[in-house]
Amino acid sequence: MRVLGIDPGLTRCGVGVVEGVAGRPLTMIGVGVVRTSPDAGLGDRLVAVERGIEQWLDEHSPGFVAVERVFAQHNVRTVMGTAQASAVAMLCAARRGIPVALHTPSEVKAAVTGSGRADKDQVGAMVTRLLRLDAPPKPADAADALALAICHIWRAPAQNRLQQAVAAHRTSGASRTPGASRTPGASRIPGAPGISRTPGAAGAPRTPDTPRTPGTPRTLKGRTA
């Protein structure tokens, strides 16, 4: 499995490619940062981010893209820029038909370090150890991108099993035929579900008694009364 991790940002967008499978040593394929000038217009900066990500997709051909999920912060301006860069990253992947996964910072930290509250130095140190690097990648955005890729490789098998289980449950539920509805007021014949009978005698409907004409003799057991 080859995953491109993207730590979105307008000024620095971290990118890192990791290859491997869960439970085995991982290999770093590449790491870097897509930079834009703060003095440029917003549209130009987003175009620069798109071109940079497209270049990484062309060069490394990942099978999956993992992007950090944007969460609320006190600095609304920073959140907006991060969200815009994140949308560009997802657009680039979706345009090529590459599956995209979103991971929160806490998920990534917990997967890499074992603690969802680890700081950036701890994340960088664990990325260095897991990928057997000589030194932590710089800047921190690059290390975060590698951590995203590692997180997805380790979490993907469990997520795939969960999605398959949910899909199987939905399929089995849709294939069930709802029980036949009963006619209100009609009773079922024991042993023959779904077959109703008319209240009264079994088989033919019951004919109401014919009124007797006054003066007509009544027959009782073959005798005339």
Catalytic residue from among 44, 119, 141, 209: 141
Residue 7 bears catalytic tag: yes
To the query of whether residue 39 is one of the catalytic residues in this protein, the response is: no
141 is catalytic: yes
What is the 3-state secondary structure of the chain? CEEEEEECCCCEEEEEEEECCCCCCCEEEEEEEEECCCCCCHHHHHHHHHHHHHHHHHHHCCCEEEEECCCCCCCHHHHHHHHHHHHHHHHHHHHCCCCEEEECHHHHHHHHHCCCCCCHHHHHHHHHHHCCCCCCCCCHHHHHHHHHHHHHHHHHHHHHHHHHHHHHHHHHHHHCCCCCCCCCCCEEECCEEEEEECCCCCCCCCCCCCCCCCCCCCEECCEEC
Specify the pairing of strand 64-68 against strand 219-220. unpaired
Which residue in the list 54, 68, 134, 209 is annotated as catalytic?
68
Active site residues per annotation:
7, 68, 141
